[in-house]
Amino acid sequence: MLQLSSIAPLLDRFMPNPDLQIRHKIVVRAPAALVLETARTFDLRSTPLVRAIFWLRARILDAKAAAPDWSLGFVQVMLRMGWGVLAEEPNRWFVAGTVCRPWMADVVMTPILPAQFAAYAEPDQVKIIWTLEAEPLGEARSRFATETRVAGTDGQAQAKFRRYWRRFGIGMAMTRWLLLPAIRCKAERRWRAEAAVSSDDGS
């Protein structure tokens, strides 16, 4: 089993030299398996500011695609959008990736097989990977983390992504700053509710 402290080598296999690398983490008073499941099934619509950030991007770029049904859960929606599973360890971590042109109004995402992801080099494309990670710190305490890596396949794509990031990067970063506490809050509520039920059953 891969330890979360060594997840970097796993990500390096898919993207060893990213143009952009962002990592966020937070401690949660709930078991790791429950935290990861909460993150996987999280409904982005439950965080109004995150909703507003996505709406603003679509408005600025004049996107035409319909908004996804986030009630289906974060991971399921992302897979439907064109992200592919690169690696996962049940109850511990999940790694997804895609290739796309993020500067487009309506982004078309293409999943790439894990064995082909690192070598993928079609021009004018950006490769992106992200993780959901839950590291046990005790019986009812864990560290939740997410990392995003981005790499352009050529100089043209890198330049386009830099321009895009200067425009929208703060919004993308804010979604993570907002989502981690929201996921923590929901996971801790779920754990307290489960603990209360177990206590009642045992009384």
β-strand partners of 200 = none
The pLDDT of residue 2 is: 44
Average pLDDT, integer, range 112-123 = 97
Query: Which pLDDT band holds residue 68 (cuts at 50, 70, 90)?
Result: confident
Lowest mean pLDDT among 1-15, 79-93, 170-184: 1-15
The pLDDT of residue 4 is: 47
The secondary structure element, H or E, covering residue 145 is strand 141-152
What are the pLDDT digits (tens) for 10-53?
Answer: 999 999 999 999 999 999 999 999 999 999 999 988 888 888 88
Higher pLDDT, 68 or 180: 180
**Do residues 127 and 9 make contact, with C-beta atoms less than 8 angstroms apart?**
no
Counting beta carbons within 10 angstroms of the beta carbon of residue 32, is it exposed (0 to 12), middle (13 to 18) or buried (19 or more)?
buried
Q: What contacts 48, CB < 8 A, 6 or more positions away? A: none
- Answer yes or no: is pLDDT of 1 > 80: no
Phi and psi for 75 in degrees, rounded to 5? -65, -45
Listed residue (28, 70, 32) closest to 48, CA to CA: 70
Counting beta carbons within 10 angstroms of the beta carbon of residue 64, is it exposed (0 to 12), middle (13 to 18) or buried (19 or more)?
exposed
Q: Please give the model's pTM, rounded to 2 decimal places.
A: 0.90
Q: Per-residue b/e over 108-123, b at no fewer than 16 CB within 10 Å? A: ebebbeeeebbebeee
The pLDDT of residue 8 is: 92
The pLDDT of residue 199 is: 65
- Answer yes or no: is pLDDT of 132 > 60: yes
Q: Tokens in use for 192?
A: 């307290």
